[in-house]
Structures are given as structure tokens and as C-alpha cells.
Amino acid sequence: MASTPRPDFARVARLRGAEQGVIDEAARQGLIPADIAHALTSPGAGDQLLFQGFEVVADLDSLSGPSSGFVDVPRHLVDGDLPELVDVADPVQRAVLYRRLLARGTATEQAELINRDVLLRLWPQRLAPHAVVQVWERRFPELTAP
């Protein structure tokens, strides 16, 4: 009977520490916004977020996505949970699309596919990881307005 290999947690910790160092240096050089770098290296940020990063639009008014109809989803966001074509009028498909765009989409993709008014309405659902939500809310206080 084969034994289950034990994870090398020390190696994982070294890799995480090295990635955090790279992010900190990139922020010092102005290659990553300081608020995003802080979110990526915060204790609550998961490994996926740390190693993939995320972007945020510069202005909520740039979010000009449709509130109805179908959108073609960028290929790097498509998987079993998110099809290539999404009906943004469908609440479930729209929520999955917005979650994916907030956590993994580029700022350009966010601007093209997220609708500002829809996002404001959906924001209380916490569509993204906590670290991402914090950056969006610091940049755009209107997201937390009653």
C-alpha cells in the first residue's frame, strides 16, 4: 500500500514569502498600485489571489457594460462555472461573471463588461474575495453608501 506524500509546508511558506517580496518591490517601483500590493500581501489574501493579482478600474463611471443581452466572456475567464456566452439579464450568470471579472479580469475587461448601476445594486452580495472588496471600497466609497 502506497503512503500519501506529505506536503512540504516549509517550501510553500518560502514561495509565498518570495512572492510577497516581489509584490512589495513592484509596489516600491510603482509597477503595482500600493493598495493592491497591500491587499495581495495581507494575511487574509489566498494563494490564488497572491499569485495571480487583480486589477481595478480607475473610475466607476468607466463601467459601461450592458445591463441586458449577451456578452462574450474573455477566454481566460471561461470554465465550468462560467460559459463563453453569458446572459447578463440572468441573475446567476451575471453574478458569476461579475465575481470573475472583479477577481481575475483586467481593468479594461471590467470597464467593458460590468455595468456601473448593476454593480452598485449587487455590491452588498460581496461578489469578490475580501481583499479585493476592500480595495474597491477604499477607492469607491459610493459602493458602501446606503
Cβ count near 118 (within 10 Å):
17
- As a whole number of angstroms, the distance between CA 80 and CA 94 comes to 15
pLDDT tens-digit readout, 107-124: 999 999 999 999 999 999
pLDDT tens-digit readout, 83-102: 999 999 999 999 999 999 99
Flag whether the pTM goes above 0.75: yes
Per DSSP, helices labelled H in 42-129 are 47-52, 91-104, 107-113, 116-122
